[in-house]
């Protein structure tokens, strides 16, 4: 989310400490609008798969997102140490790998299920950082949700898609850590802009090898640009505005609703229905995420 190039969702809570104020209700609306934009952007990306494939879609989306952020941030490349570059390149590799695996997942399993499995990465990270007994309770609740989602053995989900979603979650956790470190070493949005360029360099060769000339079709480029705006430009702007009105804790709790919003987007855009058991699984993982954030 994410899937994504979901940047503000995980970066902003680490850097913002604004208290909830009189405009907090408007801030909640901004966060929810950003989340809807991210997940409907991911659902729209799946519509591009028949023409460009999952790898081609990632390449177009990440490339446009990098160009957009480069134009806005205009990062300064000089004056950074080797350690700075090591961090930001690792950040970009995590970002690129996260998106590649996530798109492989939603090409095989429903969007709601993919985001539910993916969010386990940040959830596990929060439990490990918290190191309190309550964290084990939230982890157990999340695992119960995953077991329910897979029907006792993931017989209802493509195993490769499920594995890709879990892998994307692991890279999402790495992304959170490296995002914070890059933010401490690079001013403004410089680190994120450079990381997106690294992610584009990783995904473009794979996308070109997979989709070939289809990536240059006007329809593919147009939809790819729209997906980049929906999944990066719009939510990032809305979330930055929201963090001026909300505390980081409130923001993080709201973003825990991502699996539920993803399930809704998958249903409305892609016609992906979910069984009652799968809906219950989403609810359990959302509850575990909210609980883990509140505990931490």
User: How far apart (Å, rounded) are the C-alpha atoms in residues 272 and 45?
Assistant: 14
Q: pTM of the predicted model, to two decimals?
A: 0.79
Predicted local confidence at residue 105, as pLDDT: 93
Sign of CA dihedral 283, 285, 291, 293: negative
Predicted local confidence at residue 249, as pLDDT: 65
Please, are residues 22 and 51 in contact by the beta-carbon 8 Å criterion? no
Please, are residues 75 and 136 in contact by the beta-carbon 8 Å criterion? no
Tokens standing for residue 64: 């446009």
User: How far apart (Å, rounded) are the C-alpha atoms in residues 130 and 122?
Assistant: 12
Predicted local confidence at residue 198, as pLDDT: 94
User: How far apart (Å, rounded) are the C-alpha atoms in residues 162 and 153?
Assistant: 11
Predicted local confidence at residue 150, as pLDDT: 62
Domain boundaries, the chain: 8-295
Please, are residues 38 and 262 in contact by the beta-carbon 8 Å criterion? no
Which residue ranges in the chain fall short of pLDDT 50?
3-18, 22, 152-154
Q: What are phi and psi of 153, to 5 degrees?
A: 180, 15
User: How far apart (Å, rounded) are the C-alpha atoms in residues 109 and 281?
Assistant: 15
Predicted local confidence at residue 295, as pLDDT: 66
Tokens standing for residue 190: 């410089």
């Amino acid at each position: 989310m994410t899937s994504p190039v979901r940047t503000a969702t995980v970066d902003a809570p680490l850097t913002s400490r604004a208290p909830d104020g009189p405009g907090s209700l408007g801030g909640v609306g901004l966060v929810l609008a950003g989340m809807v934009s991210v997940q409907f952007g991911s659902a729209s990306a799946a519509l591009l798969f028949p023409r460009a494939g999952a790898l081609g879609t990632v390449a177009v989306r990440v490339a446009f997102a990098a160009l957009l952020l480069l134009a806005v941030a205009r990062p300064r490349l000089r004056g950074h140490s080797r350690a700075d570059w090591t961090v930001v390149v690792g950040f970009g590799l995590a970002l690129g790998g996260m998106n590649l695996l996530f798109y492989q997942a939603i090409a095989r399993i429903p969007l709601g299920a993919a985001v539910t499995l993916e969010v386990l990465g940040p959830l596990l990270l929060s439990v490990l950082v918290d190191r309190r007994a309550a964290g084990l309770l939230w982890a157990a609740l999340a695992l119960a949700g995953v077991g329910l989602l897979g029907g006792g053995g993931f017989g209802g989900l493509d195993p490769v898609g499920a594995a890709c979603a879990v892998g994307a979650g692991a890279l999402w956790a790495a992304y959170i850590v490296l995002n914070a470190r890059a933010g401490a070493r690079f001013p403004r949005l410089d680190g994120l802009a450079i990381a997106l360029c690294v992610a584009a360099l990783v995904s473009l060769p794979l996308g070109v090898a997979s989709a070939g000339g289809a990536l240059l079709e006007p329809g593919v480029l147009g939809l790819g640009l729209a997906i980049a705006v929906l999944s990066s430009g719009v939510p990032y702007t809305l979330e930055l505005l929201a963090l001026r009105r909300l505390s980081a804790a409130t923001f993080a709790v709201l973003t825990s609703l991502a699996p539920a919003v993803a399930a809704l987007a998958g249903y409305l855009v892609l016609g992906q229905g979910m069984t009652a058991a799968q809906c219950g699984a989403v609810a359990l993982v959302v509850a575990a995420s909210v609980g883990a954030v509140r505990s931490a």
